[in-house]
Amino acid sequence: MVNFRSGLIRALIANGHEVVALAPPDKYVPQLSNLGCRFIALPIDSGGVNPFRDAALLYRYWKILKREQPDVFLGYTVKPNVYGSIAAHALGIPVINNVAGLGSVFIEQGWLTRLVRQLYRLALSRSYKVFFQNDDDHSLFVQGGLVPPAISDRVPGSGVDLSRFAFDTTIRPSHSFRFILIARMLWEKGVGQYVEAAKILRREGVDAQWCLLGFLDVQNSAAISRQKMDEWVAQGVVNYLGVSDDVRSEILASDCVVLPSYYREGVPRTLLEAAAIGRPIITTDAVGCREAVDDEVNGFLCQPRDILDLVKQMRRMINLSPSERAGMAFEGRKKVERQFDEQIVIAKYLKAIEVLNTSR
């Protein structure tokens, strides 16, 4: 919420609304409070499929919403969108959802995917508005009958705060080229492909750095273990930077941001932040990721799970002249200003809430 929704929270409060945040408690709770919203702790087993825990979560949502009686419920991520929405519908509370990517459950077809589809249909069909962050997910839900077309709409990812992620024309010298992957350390984010590509290029004698930044040991079956990360670092393949609340400085210290994800993304925020600052991107021609890159304009697209294609695009990026990379940086900034300004997202939310309030 702090990372992706701060701008919206500030805008809602500035427009006279009271904001209550429901989420599992962590070290960022004080920052939420500093934004001016009230926090209520809500334990969520985000990646779990235990039906008893999910039933308990649905009850907790119902209990909190019944007590708070909000004018509107805003849902993000799978379980809040599903169980929070179902509880809100039961209490007659209007719902605005944001489907910020479909994650790993929609990569493979199976019983879990079929179950999640049915839960989405139950949860979203009665919502007031359902925002999607990319055209692929929007089409999948509408054509699959999970969401009525009349209540669906598109937002440009989570948007980027263009003043915070200001354009910086400083291009680091090519002899110290630095790649960085910023994401949760999950196999589905393409971390394994990134490491293997780094190994190949190092064997070829390429003088570059391959950095990783993001949460390790997350509660997810696809998480990369600390032991595996320590092994890669000990081999001298990558440099693991841990986590940071100052992603901007890490992007500024890099020449290219890479995300070889085959996870069903919304639109990856780190790619938009990189483009806003003025750093070229390498990412996959996959759902959500392709939205952030105009191929060969502000970066390069590679095929998902294709290590050799990733190696090829990294070589191309390294071999660009400083002026060519500067051109990509300029085009990336223009693209974000045109399509992904956070104010576009905020305006859509404020408009939806205004229309909802006047229609009562």
Assigned domain for 26 exists: yes
Are 331 and 285 in the same domain?
yes
Please report, for the domain that includes residue 276, its CATH number: 3.40.50.2000
Are 298 and 350 in the same domain?
no
Q: What is the predicted pLDDT for the residue at 304? A: 95
Are 194 and 68 in the same domain?
no
Which residues form the domain of 62? 2-159+341-358
Q: What is the predicted pLDDT for the residue at 274? A: 97
Are 226 and 107 in the same domain?
no
Q: What is the predicted pLDDT for the residue at 147? A: 92
**Domains in the chain: how many in total?**
2
Assigned domain for 164 exists: no
Q: What is the predicted pLDDT for the residue at 173? A: 57
Are 92 and 190 in the same domain?
no
Are 190 and 319 in the same domain?
yes
pLDDT below 70 — which residues of the chain?
A: 103-109, 171-175, 217-219
Q: What is the predicted pLDDT for the residue at 311? A: 98
Q: What is the predicted pLDDT for the residue at 165? A: 95
Are 190 and 335 in the same domain?
yes
Q: What is the predicted pLDDT for the residue at 174? A: 54
Assigned domain for 168 exists: no
Q: What is the predicted pLDDT for the residue at 151? A: 95
Assigned domain for 152 exists: yes
Q: Are 318 and 208 in contact (CB under 8 A)?
A: yes
Assigned domain for 14 exists: yes
Q: What is the predicted pLDDT for the residue at 105? A: 57
